[in-house]
A and B are shown apart, each in its own frame.
Chain A
Amino acid sequence: EDQVTQSPEALRLQEGESSSLNCSYTVSGLRGLFWYRQDPGKGPEFLFTLYSAGEEKEKERLKATLTKKESFLHITAPKPEDSATYLCAVQARQVGNEKLTFGTGTRLTIIP
């Protein structure tokens, strides 16, 4: 069974203090690993899709990386508006399968 574990559960940073969020996964053949951001009362908002080990993608202060067992979401010099829950999800490479398996998320708080 596909599984995603995110750590830490919660993280508080000072504005400008860089850090990384971790997503460890087990999946029967990875088709894609997804990062989403979720604000309170809203649905998940798509950030990145990664497909193979060694791949990296960047968007503003965020950079996502992927290995064969885990993914990291690096946040550089964060601002208060980066506060949100960050979700990781995997999709297995199976015919007809598009199910995403999510982790429980990391709740990130950036203190001004």
Chain B
Amino acid sequence: EAGVTQFPSHSVIEKGQTVTLRCDPISGHDNLYWYRRVMGKEIKFLLHFVKESKQDESGMPNNRFLAERTGGTYSTLKVQPAELEDSGVYFCASSQDFRVGSNYGYTFGSGTRLTVV
């Protein structure tokens, strides 16, 4: 099966501009997650969609970040306006319903490296 696809793979934008990242989850996966890794830090959770609904957005840093998942398929993460501290690698992951006891994990995409200059 095709994996989680993210694009662009790299983006360089100027401070104050807008950037939109896209994630295509594995087909049939209702759960979609966004994570971010800033330089030298651990990967941190941003938010979780179940189909088109936001289940948990406790990790979103501020209102400059807007995530959408229209129709419960692909998702976009928009940063507007971008600030220098938004630089990092943004990962998307997807999963079927998680079942405790299974050897099951979340499938991650390769990420989008965002550089704000």
Contacts and interface: CB of A to CB of B under 8 A. Distances in A.
B101 interface: yes
B111 interface: yes
Given A51-B101, A57-B103, A99-B59, A104 B45 contact: no
A25 B101 CA distance: 19
Interface in B4-46: 4, 31, 33, 35, 41-45
Contacts of A109: none
A49 interface: yes
Interface size class of A (residues with CB under 8 A): 20 to 34
Interface in A67-99: 87, 89, 96-99
A45 B108 CA distance: 7
B100 A32 contact: yes
A101 to B, nearest CB: 7
Interface of A: 4, 31-32, 34, 36, 41-49, 51, 57, 87, 89, 96-105
Interface of B: 4, 31, 33, 35, 41-45, 48, 55-56, 58-59, 91, 93, 95, 98, 100-111
